[in-house]
């Protein structure tokens, strides 16, 4: 005897994996970071800024207090606690704001199972999102990319983004930033998919995308320009640092700090077909 399964139940089963990501929740988290940084007292700081500069440098006009101690004292007056970030922790917080709680908990469990106590990385999260959560990956390469031919070979012949000593990540397609049509294609895709988790050059830098924009956190920056490491610092003089804010938004196709990227997008929304005369 045939079993009749209600049409509504079938549609819910099909739609649930594709509608789990909360784009509005992720955007609210992005805006919260931006508002905090624009305010008078931002509780967020770059972890490298704290370790190599703020905790080691005397505050201006003081012989006893460091830059870190002066900033923390200012926070306490407003009952705020400092929270250290780097590029991945920033992206991770926004990803968590958009994923369903059960999905995010499963991602953390899978990460622990695969990599133990190692922290999240752009490539490790991308690997799990594509293999376990149905996300789709797209590679993007610039004209000045190191080992450009090596990457393009993997993109074209193997449909993989190669990660050094880690599992390659399956891609759906790749785009070249030196091709005008490809730039238009990647922007069209980003508008349609709304949010992406991404990393550059094998995982050196992690970021997220919102529409056509790349949003990132710089771990060598302070909670405000007032507390930032001065350009006279040895790390700037050695050419190891760039002048950037803590949180930065850049149109993705104009992002030039790195040259080879991977973006993974949540599954597209499944829409129910129109019902005809039944």
Distances in Å between the Cα of 5 and the Cα atoms of 2, 8, 57, 157, 181 are 10, 9, 68, 42, 45
Residue 271 in this model has a pLDDT that exceeds 50 = no
Give the confidence band of 260 by pLDDT, cuts at 50, 70, 90.
very high
> How confident is the model over 82-132, as pLDDT tens digits?
999 999 999 999 999 999 999 999 999 999 999 998 999 999 999 999 999
- Count of all residues that appear for the chain in the document: 278
Find, among 226, 216, 193, 236, the residue nearest to 60 by Cα: 226
With a threshold of 0.85, does the pTM exceed it? yes
Choose the weakest-confidence range: 52-56, 132-136, 266-270: 266-270
The set of residues, in sequence order, having a beta carbon less than 8 Å from that of 132 and lying 6+ positions away, is: 106, 107, 110
Most confident of 143-147, 246-250, 273-277: 246-250
Query: What pLDDT sits at residue 15?
Result: 37
Cα–Cα distance, 247 to 87 (Å, whole number): 9
If you average pLDDT over residues 228-248, what whole number do you get? 88
Q: Any bridge partners for residue 213, and if so which?
A: 210, 251
What are the φ and ψ backbone dihedral angles of 214, each rounded to 5 degrees?
-100, 130
List helix spans (H) across 99-147.
101-115, 122-132
Structure tokens at 140: 């993007």
Distances in Å between the Cα of 213 and the Cα atoms of 65, 191, 198, 216 are 39, 9, 12, 10
Residue 7 in this model has a pLDDT that exceeds 80 = no
């Amino acid at each position: 005897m045939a079993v009749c399964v209600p049409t509504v139940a079938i549609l819910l089963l099909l739609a649930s994996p594709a509608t789990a990501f909360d784009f509005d929740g992720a955007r609210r988290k992005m805006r919260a970071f931006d508002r905090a940084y624009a305010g008078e007292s931002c509780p967020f700081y770059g972890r490298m800024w704290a370790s190599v500069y703020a905790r080691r440098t005397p505050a201006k006009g003081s012989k006893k207090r460091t830059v870190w101690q002066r900033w923390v004292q200012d926070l306490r007056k407003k009952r705020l606690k400092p929270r250290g970030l780097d590029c991945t922790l920033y992206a991770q917080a926004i990803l968590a704001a958009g994923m369903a709680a059960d999905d995010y908990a499963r991602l953390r469990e899978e990460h622990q199972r695969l990599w133990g106590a190692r922290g999240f990385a752009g490539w490790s999260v991308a690997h799990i999102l594509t293999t376990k959560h149905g996300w789709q990956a797209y590679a993007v390469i610039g004209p000045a990319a190191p080992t450009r031919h090596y990457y393009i070979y993997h993109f074209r012949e193997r449909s993989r983004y190669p990660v050094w000593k880690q599992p390659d990540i399956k891609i759906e397609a790749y785009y070249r930033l030196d091709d005008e049509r490809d730039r238009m294609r990647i922007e069209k895709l980003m508008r349609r998919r709304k949010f992406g988790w991404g990393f550059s050059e094998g995982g050196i830098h992690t970021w997220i995308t919102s529409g056509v924009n790349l949003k990132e956190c710089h771990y060598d920056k302070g909670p405000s320009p007032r507390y930032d490491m001065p350009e006279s610092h040895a790390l700037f003089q050695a050419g190891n640092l760039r002048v950037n804010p803590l949180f930065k938004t850049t149109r993705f196709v104009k992002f030039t700090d790195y040259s080879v990227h991977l973006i993974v997008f949540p599954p597209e929304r499944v829409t129910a077909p129109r019902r005809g005369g039944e």
